[in-house]
Amino acid sequence: MARIKEILPALALITALIATWWGAVIATHSMIFPTPWAVITGTFELLENGTLWRHIGASLLRVGLGFGLAVCVAVPLGLWMGWVAGAYRTLNPIFQILRPISPIAWIPIAILWFGVGDASPIYLIFISSVFPMVVQTTVGVHTIEKRYLRAAENFGVSRRTLFRQVVIPAVLPQVIVGMRIGLGVAWLVVVAAEMIALHSGLGYMIMDSRNAGNRYDLVIAGMIIIGLIGLSLDTTMRILEGTKWARWRYAH
C-alpha cells in the first residue's frame, strides 16, 4: 500500500502527459504525429512480424560485447593505475583528455577504421564506457582507507592475499558504480551509432521507420522501448550494488 502511494504521483504525471499528447494530436489534426494508440498498434505490428526482437537482440549484443570488452580492460587498468603511482602519473593525463570527447565525435573515425559493420558500434561503446570505469576503479584504489592497508602490512600477508582479501574487495563497490555509469553510457551510444550506418538495432529501426514512409508511430515506439530497456539495465546494476560484495560499503 505504501509503495503504491509512493509511485502514485509519477503514474499520475505519465497519465497526464499521455492525455495531453493524445489531445494535442486530435486538436491539431496532425497527419504525421501519431496518437498513443497508434504507437501501441505499431508496437504490436513489430512484435508480430518479429522485427522488434531482432532489433533489440542486435542492440543488446553490441552493448554486451563493447561493454564486456571495456570491463575486461578497465578494471585491471584501473587497479594498476590506482596501485602504481607511476602508471597513474603517466596514463591519467591522456585519459583526462580522451574522456570528455563525445562518443559521437568518434563515429567518423570508427567508420574509417572498422567500416560500417558491427565492429564500429562495438568500438564506440568500448571507447565510451571504458573511461568512466577506469576512473572509478582508480578512485576506488586511491580511497582505500589507510588503516586497512596498515593492518594488512602489520600482519605481513603475501601480495596475493593483500590483493584478494583487501584491495579487490575494497575497490569492488566503486567498480560496480563505474560499471553502472559505463553501461548507461553504452546504451546511449549504441542507439546513436546504429542511426548512422547499420541495418539492424533499435537505432536503425528508428531511422528506418522515418525514412521508409514517415512511420512516426514506430519512431516513438522505438524511443519508449529504448527507455524501458535502459531502465532495466540500470536496475540490474543496482541489484549488483546490493549484493554482499558491495553491501558493506553502504551499510551502517
Partner 1 sequence: MRTKIEVRDLKKSFASDKGPLAVVDNVSLTVQEGEFVALVGPSGCGKSTLMSMIAGFLQPDAGSVVIDETLRTRPDSKGILISQQGSVFPWLTVRENLMFGLNGHAPSDKRTVAERYADIVGLKGFEDSYPHELSGGMLKRTELARALAVKPDILYMDEPFSALDALMSLRLRNELLQILAKERHTTLLITHDVEEAIHLADRIVVLSPRPTRVQTIFPVPFGHPRKVAGREAQELRVRILSELGVDREEIG
Applying CB under 8 A, the residues found at the interface with partner 1 are: 147-148, 150-151, 153-158, 161, 165-166, 169-170, 172, 244-245, 248-249, 251-252
Phi, psi (degrees; rounded to nearest 5) at 229: -65, -40
Nearer to partner 1, 5 or 252 (CB): 252
In the complex, minimum distance from the CB of residue 160 to partner 1, in angstroms, rounded to a whole number: 11
Nearer to partner 1, 61 or 152 (CB): 152
The amino acid occupying position 232 is S
The closest of 179, 72, 75, 64 to 122, measured between CA atoms, is 64
Nearer to partner 1, 142 or 199 (CB): 142
**Nearest-angstrom CA–CA distance, 50 and 146:** 56
In the complex, minimum distance from the CB of residue 172 to partner 1, in angstroms, rounded to a whole number: 8
Q: Which residue has the cell 521508409?
A: 212
Name, in order, each residue with C-beta under 8 angstroms of 114's C-beta and a sequence gap of 6 or more.
120, 123
In the complex, minimum distance from the CB of residue 166 to partner 1, in angstroms, rounded to a whole number: 7
Nearer to partner 1, 199 or 247 (CB): 247
Q: Any idea what the Cα angle at residue 189 is, between residues 212 and 89, rounded to 5°?
A: 160
In the complex, minimum distance from the CB of residue 156 to partner 1, in angstroms, rounded to a whole number: 5
3-class DSSP state for residue 152?
A: helix
In the complex, minimum distance from the CB of residue 240 to partner 1, in angstroms, rounded to a whole number: 15
**Nearest-angstrom CA–CA distance, 175 and 76:** 11
Nearer to partner 1, 31 or 155 (CB): 155
